[in-house]
Structures are given as C-alpha cells and as structure tokens.
Amino acid sequence: MKKRFLMPITFLFFNFLFTSTSYCGNKVLILGTTTSVRDSGFLDKIIPIFEKKTGYFVKTIAVGTGQAIVLGKKGEVDVLLIHAPEEELKFVKEGYGLNRKTFMYNNFILLGPKSNPAKIKPDMNIIEAFKEIAKNRSLFISRGDNSGTHIKELSIWKKAGLNPLGEKWYQETGTGMGQTLLIANEKDGYTISDRGTYLALKKTLNNLKPLVENDASLRNYYSIIEVNPEKFRKVNKEGAKLFSDFINSREIKEIIKSYGQKEYGESLFYLIGQ
C-alpha cells in the first residue's frame, strides 16, 4: 500500500527540485546600484518596464555605492546607478566608466532625536549643525559602510574641519540606511539620511525628526554610468547603453516626477533642472 505511492511521490519530488527557475537566455544585464534606490521601490517600478521593452533580464545588485564602484572596477557589473559624484568622476577619469549622466536628485537631511541635545536650529546650515554636534559630544550614528551617504557625511565633517573618527560619541553601524535610521531612533542619535529612505521608514521612526533639510549643499545626485567595455571583454555594452537611454527617456522622466506622491505626499526624486 505504502510502496504504491512511493514512486509517484519521489517522481514529483525530483520533478519539483529540478524544474528550472533560471533564466535561460544570454540577454542578461547586471545593474550595480545602491540600497536606497531599491528600498524606495523605485527600481521595482521601472525595471519590469525595461525588461518588457527590450527582452533583457536585469540582475539588480543593490549594495553601497562604494562597493558598487569596486564591482564596476572589476568589470563585474555592466551599468551603475549610484550617488557619489566625486567618486563617479574619478571612476570615469580612470577609464572604467563611460557616458556618465546625472539624471535625478533628492536631498540628504540631518535627523536627530526630538530632545535635540545639541540644540540644532532649523536655520543652521549643515556645517554649523555638525560643529554643534561635535561641540556637545552628542551621539552621532554613521553608516560607516563607504556608501554614497557615508561618503557625503565624511565630506561634511571634512568641510567643518573636524575628525570625529574614534570619538566615543561617534558610532559606525556598517549597515544599510534603514538599519542605521532604526539604530539612531533607538539610541537617541543624530544621523544623516537620504529623504527617500527616511520617508519610507518614517512610520517606525517616532523618535527622530528632520533638523536640517534645505541646505543646498545637501543635494543628492544620482547618475547612471556605463562600464567601459574596452576594459572588460565580458561587459554587456549594448545592454548598458539601452538601459542608460531608457533611464533618460521621456517615459521614465514622467515616472520620476510623480514617484512617491501617492504614498508619501511628495516626490521622492526630482529631475535635473526641475
């Protein structure tokens, strides 16, 4: 009785195991990008459109900008969508990247606990605010992961003429933006975040409030860069070009303009020149 079922069940079991889920085609494009673009849901919205249009299968590898650049330098990704302008220019200058196009921006904001121990005022610029935090030795939670946000934060400390590394009040999480915001929220710390991730997580961050947000130097520019196929034989030149053109197409511009308005009441990203 038992044995009679054993064969078909085993058959079904192996059939299930070896059913291929893998995409069998050679039109694969590897996109190196940052967690902030993925976590905001923006990529989930535009990539299916691209796949449908071109027949490509896009493998999105969402890591910190620093890591994405390293992957680009190794020729492990075809196209980059990142946010660290200085590093990007260096990447292009060294011959690793082509056709860098800055296509959208949002801004970074300084967040802090509602008690605001460093007494940051809304009319301060970001450098003054960082100086106040350092003077008061108030807890600052840093990404510490070489991401675009982390690179931005370090450049502000540098401009303020301060070096907080190794200070007791300066703590590095080494994790993504979402996790870092949660830690700052729990520990009553100050931190810097892109607006998109903050808005996405706002409902769980009941202890944090935006303190400095309209400083022009806090602009956060996103660019798309094709990895140079002359350096790496395996880079998908055609796909990278298609994706870059797609990002800069009218259709995507319309999506960027309105993205997030329904959910958060404001756009998460703005077009350059908007």
Which CB, 55 or 166, lies closer to another protein? 55
- Spatial contact of 72 and 227, defined as CB atoms under 8 Å apart: yes
CA dist., res. 40 & res. 273, Å (int): 22
DSSP for 214-245, written as a single string: --GGGEEEEEEEEE-TTT-TTS-HHHHHHHHH
Residues 209-238 that bind another protein (CB under 8 A): 232, 234
From residue 133, alpha-carbon distances to 120, 127, 161, 205 in Å are 8, 10, 13, 20
Which CB, 48 or 161, lies closer to another protein? 48
Residues 73-132 that bind another protein (CB under 8 A): 74-76
Q: Which stretch binds another protein (CB under 8 A): 160-168, 170-178, 250-258, 265-273?
A: 170-178
Contact pick of 21, 55, 123, 216 for another protein (by CB under 8 A): 21
Q: Which stretch binds another protein (CB under 8 A): 20-28, 86-94, 115-123, 257-265?
A: 20-28
Binding mask 38-77 for another protein (x = CB under 8 A): -x----x--------------xxxx-----------xxx-
CA dist., res. 95 & res. 230, Å (int): 9
> Is 263 among the residues that bind another protein (CB under 8 A)?
no
CA dist., res. 213 & res. 31, Å (int): 30
3-state helix/strand/coil string of 13-29: HHHHHHCCCCCCCCCEE
Chain positions contacting another protein, by CB under 8 A: 16-17, 19, 21-23, 28, 30, 35, 39, 44, 59-62, 74-76, 176-179, 182, 200-201, 203-204, 232, 234
